Amino acid sequence: MLKRVRADLHIHSCLSPCGDEEMRPRALVSQAMAKGLDMIAISDHNSAENTAAFISAGDEKGLKVLPGIEVTSKEEIHLLAIFDSQEDCTALQNLIYQNLPGENVEEVFGPQTVVNERDERIGVNRRMLIGATLLPFEQIVSVVHSLQGIAIASHIDRQAFSLLGQLGFIPEGVPLDGLEISSRTSKQEAKTRFRSYQHYSFVWFSDAHRLEDIGTSMTQFLLKETSSGEVKKALHHEEGRRVLAA
Amino acid sequence: MTVFDIAKSFGLETRAGKDHLHEEVTGGYASDLLSDVIAHSRKGNIWVTLQTHPNIVAVASMKELAGIILTAGREPDSDTLRKAEEEGIPILISPLFAFELVGKLYQMGISGTGEC
């Protein structure tokens, strides 16, 4: 039996330097549930050190939380990588850490707070998470797939840090699972503007950096259960799974 | 002035498109956002960038640019080289950062495309 799942799979926590300090597990999970979401993903810049805490907080309250990372490629393109297992997500994080130069300057970019499931600060990440990795975009897509993850190009309608902004067009044959479009572009506009990319599934997520942003943009999927593997099937129209509406 | 003249004056190494260095250079464009290059570069421009992705060749080919100079000694990706040979797009390497390189090109008499 397939069911309708309301998902916001692009949310930053207090680990992202640009993420609000309020973006902690209990507060964020409560807000997501209040917005009627069935599933979210935590996707901080170049790190997944907070995802386990959010997954625990979600388990406690009954909200499905997927681990993810918004990776920055060497071309400064943002790619949303979402997984079912924390281990796979951490494997991607390890590769990123080997290829991410620099140290964060908190006064300039903001704090990178590591938290536990009770919203308590347990540490600080000192890497420059806002920076770019040394990894080519296509290589990241390929690694995400080898780890059973989903690879979605972030906010392609924006000029900054987007696949289309940085590279002008989508290179042929990149096996992306979907294209994320920001709330600035409506479904109708997207259909026209990105007509040449309609063989990819389009999704709308909030890219929330503050509590009030969560769920302001979401995508509804028809899935068997709330998992990344099911979302992947929906993005590729497999076994009756599909993207319902944004 | 041709791409060959530029390569010769600055001692730039040519990585691709050796048979296509005699295009006349109409001006220059410097940008690392490919979408911006698509929007604002002009036919025959020499393009200064640090991007090494294969899409630079596609953009240069589509906009009929005279050639690409990679700054700060960056090397093109292997796919980029292959495509550049196929498309006949010269790729040159400069050890200079973009600001210095563009300054020198300007002194040589290559100007930009004016205000946007």
Angle at which helices B78-87 and B55-62 pack, to 10 degrees?
20
pLDDT > 90 fraction of chain B, expressed in percent and rounded: 91
Q: In degrees to the nearest 10, what's the CA dihedral of B66, B71, B74, B75?
A: 10
Q: What pLDDT was estimated at residue A160? A: 87
Structure tokens at A219: 């995508």
Q: Which residues of B touch A75 (CB under 8 A)?
A: 51, 53
For chain A, 246 residues long, the average pLDDT of each consecutive 10-residue run is 97 97 98 98 98 98 98 96 98 98 91 98 97 96 98 95 94 95 95 96 98 97 98 98 88
Structure tokens at B63: 């906009």
Best of B32, B55, B70 to disrupt the A interface (most A CBs within 10 Å) is B55
Q: H helices then E strands: how many in chain A? A: 8, 11
Q: Which residues of A touch B31 (CB under 8 A)?
A: none
> Residue type for B75, please?
E
Interface residue B50 vs chain A (CB under 8 A): no
Q: What pLDDT was estimated at residue A246? A: 64
Residue of B nearest to A135 (CA): B53
Q: Is B21 helix (H, G, I), strand (E, B) or coil?
A: coil
Interface residue A173 vs chain B (CB under 8 A): no
- Between chains, do A164 and B37 touch, taking CB under 8 Å as contact? no
Read off the pLDDT band of B23 (50, 70, 90): confident
What is the Cβ-side half-sphere exposure of residue A222, based on CA atoms within 13 angstroms? 12
In terms of pLDDT, which residue wins out, A123 or B116? Answer: A123
Q: Is A230 left (phi over 0), alpha (psi -120 to 50) or beta?
A: alpha
Distances (CA, A) of A44 to A19, A35, A47, A68, A81: 8, 21, 6, 7, 10
Positive or negative torsion for Cα A22, A23, A25, A30: positive
Read off the pLDDT band of B113 (50, 70, 90): confident
pLDDT > 70 fraction of chain B, expressed in percent and rounded: 99
Q: What pLDDT was estimated at residue B57? A: 95
The answer to whether A24 and A50 are in contact (CB under 8 A) is: no
CA B113 to chain centre: 14
In whole angstroms, how large is the CA radius of gyration of chain A?
A: 16
**By CB neighbour count within 10 A (0-12 exposed, 13-18 middle, 19+ buried), where does A33 fall?**
middle
The answer to whether A190 and A202 are in contact (CB under 8 A) is: yes
Q: What pLDDT was estimated at residue A92? A: 98
**pTM as predicted:** 0.91
Per-residue pLDDT averaged across B37-64, rounded?
94
ipTM of the complex model:
0.78
Per-residue pLDDT averaged across B13-42, rounded?
94
The answer to whether B44 and B23 are in contact (CB under 8 A) is: yes
- Between chains, do A75 and B53 touch, taking CB under 8 Å as contact? yes
End-to-end CA distance of chain B: 24
Q: What is the DSSP string of A6-75?
A: EEEEEE--TTSTTS-TT--HHHHHHHHHHTT-SEEEEEEETB-TTHHHHHHHHHHHT-EEEEEEEEE-TT
Beta bridge partners of A3: A223
Distances (CA, A) of A197 to A9, A38, A158, A190, A231: 21, 28, 15, 10, 19
In whole angstroms, how large is the CA radius of gyration of chain B?
A: 12
